[in-house]
Amino acid sequence: MTHIAIIDYGMGNLRSVAKALEHVAPHARIQVTQNRHDILQADRVVFPGQGSIRDCMRELAHWDLVEVVREVARNKPFLGLCLGPQALLEFSDENGGIECLKVLPGRVVWFGDLRDPASGERLKVPHMGWNQVHQTHDHPLWQGIPQDSRFYFVHSYYLRPANKSLVTGRTRYGFDFASAIARDNLFAVQFHPEKSAQAGLQLLANFVDWNP
C-alpha cells in the first residue's frame, strides 16, 4: 500500500489536503504527521503550508524537520503546495526577509502595487481566486489536465526561481510568474490543488501515480 506523508508542522489546516488525497487514492495510506521517522519512511511526501514564511521556518526548526524536508525533497516523489514551494527557495522577502530551505535556487517576492497592463486598473493583493496555469513543459503531473486550466490561488508573494528551467507552469497576474516548478522528483505549485475542483484532483491523482 502506498504510504503518503503530509508534513504537519503546524502551518495551516491539512485536513483538506488529506481529504482530497483520500478521494483520489482510496487505497493509499494517507498520514498527516510531523514525525521524522514516518516522513523518511513514506513512499511519497506532500509539503503544504499556509500563513507567513517566518512562522513556517520557525515551526520547521521547532519540529526538527529542516533536514528531513531537504532530504525527502531530493529523494522521494515530493509535492509542495502554496507556501511549501516558497519555503523551498533560498530567500523570501516576506517578514522583512527570511532565509528559506535552499533546496532550489531563487527567491520569493511580494506582488507589490500591481496594475493591469491592458486596463491600467489596480490589481488586488492577495492574488485570490481561480487563475489559469499555462503548462510550459510536458510533465507527468500535467497529464489529463487541459492546457490553461484554472486553479485556486491565494497568495501575496510569488516564486522567482533563479533558473528558468525550473518553471513548468506560469500564470499571469499583471505579469507572468512561476506558478509551478519542478526538478527531478520534485513538483511544487503555488496554487491549491486540493481546492481546485476537477483539475486539482487530477493533479493529485497524477502525483499518486508518479514514478520519477
Partner 1 sequence: MGLAKRIIPCLDVDHGRVVKGVKFVEIRDAGDPVEIARRYDEQGADEITFLDITASSDDRETMVHVVEQVASQVFIPLTVGGGIRTLADVRRMLNAGADKVSINTAAIAQPDFVREAAERFGNQCIVVAIDAKAVHQPDEEPRWEIFTHGGRRPTGIDAVAWAQRMAEYGAGEILLTSMDRDGTKRGFDLELTCAVSEAVSVPVIASGGVGTLDHLADGILLGKADAVLAASIFHFAEYTIEQAKRYMQARGIEVRLSDPL
Catalytic residue among 82, 94, 100, 127: 82
Q: What is the DSSP string of 29-94?
A: EEEEE--HHHHHH-SEEEE---S-HHHHHHHHHHTT-HHHHHHHHHHS-EEEETHHHHHHSSEE-G
191 contributes a contact to partner 1 by CB under 8 A? no
Q: Which of 64, 122, 165, 209 binds partner 1 (CB under 8 A)?
A: 122
**Known catalytic membership, residue 82:** yes
Q: Which residue has the cell 490589481?
A: 123
Q: Which residues contact 144 (CB under 8 A, 6 or more apart)?
A: 202, 206
128 contributes a contact to partner 1 by CB under 8 A? yes
Q: Which of 73, 199, 203, 208 binds partner 1 (CB under 8 A)?
A: 199
Closer to partner 1 by Cβ: residue 7 or 17: 17
The CB density around residue 120, as the number of other CB atoms within 10 Å, is 7
* CA angle centred on 110, ends 116 and 185, rounded to 5°: 105
Number of residues that bind partner 1 (CB under 8 A): 46
- Within positions 149 to 168, which residues make up the interface with partner 1, using CB under 8 A? 149-150, 152-156
Query: Taking the complex as a whole, how short is the minimal distance between the CB of residue 58 and partner 1, in angstroms?
Result: 13
Q: Which helix (H) or strand (E) holds 24?
A: helix 15-24
Q: Which residues contact 119 (CB under 8 A, 6 or more apart)?
A: none
Q: Which stretch binds partner 1 (CB under 8 A): 25-33, 69-77, 180-188, 192-200?
A: 192-200
54 contributes a contact to partner 1 by CB under 8 A? no
Q: Which residue has the cell 530567500?
A: 91
Region for 174 from its dihedrals, namely left if φ exceeds 0, alpha if ψ lies in -120 to 50, beta otherwise: left
Stated length of the chain = 212
Query: Taking the complex as a whole, how short is the minimal distance between the CB of residue 130 and partner 1, in angstroms?
Result: 4
Q: Which of 144, 162, 184, 209 binds partner 1 (CB under 8 A)?
A: 144
146 contributes a contact to partner 1 by CB under 8 A? yes
- Residues annotated as catalytic (active site), given as ranges: 82, 192, 194
Q: Which residues bind partner 1 (CB under 8 A)?
A: 12-13, 15-16, 19-20, 22-23, 50-52, 116, 122-132, 144-146, 148-150, 152-156, 172-173, 192, 194-202
